Chain A
């Protein structure tokens, strides 16, 4: 393989590109992040100013009158000045859109749900959560929520939820796909779950097991377990987890 071959191979690799990204959604996310950042800076600035004023009032007793009044003056000044910065430094409820997106909240909720779903003897440490607009057709939006928890030192659990209207195939291994994924169906309470693993002939750095299920409303929930440590779930228990309605988000 030479450099020319590598260029050709790169070109071939990106021929399967999905549809273009939604520019409006990205602009919206950028604006929101920008407003949030400015609000945070404003809050920090206000908090800094209040600290400076409070420190000045405490350190310069002469400003408040005689020394005997220092304590009496110091107390109300603290009461009246600390509440505004507390509010502005935590701009969680703002009508101008500077709040964290409700979608972020749902991704965080997903992270909590996954961490709480660990079987006895395993503790899920929360790592990541994300929300992203996956697809939009007219007014219908499909969102992709992801969350990751880790157990022990090397085992990770990743959950991906594509909300209704995602247009994805139910089966993780598409027909004719020659990837190393091997899919097998499993039935849990009359519901079909696809269990996917990697076939043996491809060397994988870590073993992985994925269960995915399309819920009645079209939401696809997929949970993967990977790592060299003791796995918290078996195929069956992972399949049972993935059909749980608690992961069906809007």
Chain B
């Protein structure tokens, strides 16, 4: 195994679960999330030798993931594919299945860029600047997208749930 492959494999083992969590919140389906992560890591592998500083890897990978998600959303892929979004393949419902579903369903109806801003800000805990970099937009746009996303979520999520 080459150094590149070894480094890539180690990085994948360390980060793929976290990236998949982010992808899941973006698209609302574990299968699709795995597709997104796999596509993103394939793109990362291509650029592996060009990424000089190891510290940039996370930001770079996240940016690929976000771009891949937004690209596919623009093509209407997710909208159609959500038809099979709940095949109950993973019937593990330990905590608050109802709330989880309510949130995911509401989140899926928030426009993709607003959803991305919410996930990056409140799941990945990125700063405004980092979010702007990942989404390739200004910090002002991140602020407005986040605010609109929250407003949309509040309108979509009924009041008597666990997170209200």
**In whole angstroms, what is the CA distance A226 to B12 when docked?**
35
Q: B47: shortest Cβ distance to chain A, in Å?
A: 10
* Chain A residues with CB below 8 A from B150, complex form: 1, 3, 6
* Given A1-B163, A160-B87, A177-B88: A23 touches B12 (CB 8 Å cut-off): yes
- List CB contacts (< 8 Å) of A177-219 with chain B: 177-181, 202, 205, 208, 210, 212
A10, A33, A208: the one contacting B42 at CB < 8 Å is A33
* Chain B residues with CB below 8 A from A14, complex form: 21, 24-25
* Chain B residues with CB below 8 A from A158, complex form: 80-81, 83-84
* Given A16-B93, A26-B41, A30-B41: A8 touches B163 (CB 8 Å cut-off): yes
Binding site for A on B (CB under 8 A): 5, 8-9, 12-13, 16-17, 20-21, 24-25, 30-31, 34-35, 37-38, 41-42, 44-46, 77, 80-81, 83-84, 86-101, 103-105, 109, 118-119, 121-123, 150, 153-154, 157, 162-164
Q: Please name 18 pairs of A and B residues whose Cβ atoms are closer than 8 Å in the assembled complex, sorted by A.
A: A1-B153, A3-B121, A3-B150, A6-B122, A10-B119, A13-B25, A14-B24, A16-B93, A21-B20, A21-B37, A30-B8, A146-B81, A169-B91, A172-B88, A174-B91, A178-B93, A178-B98, A210-B83
Binding site for B on A (CB under 8 A): 1, 3, 5-10, 12-18, 20-21, 23-24, 26-27, 29-31, 33-34, 37, 127-128, 130, 132, 144, 146, 148, 150, 156, 158, 160, 168-169, 171-181, 202, 205, 208, 210, 212, 222, 224-226
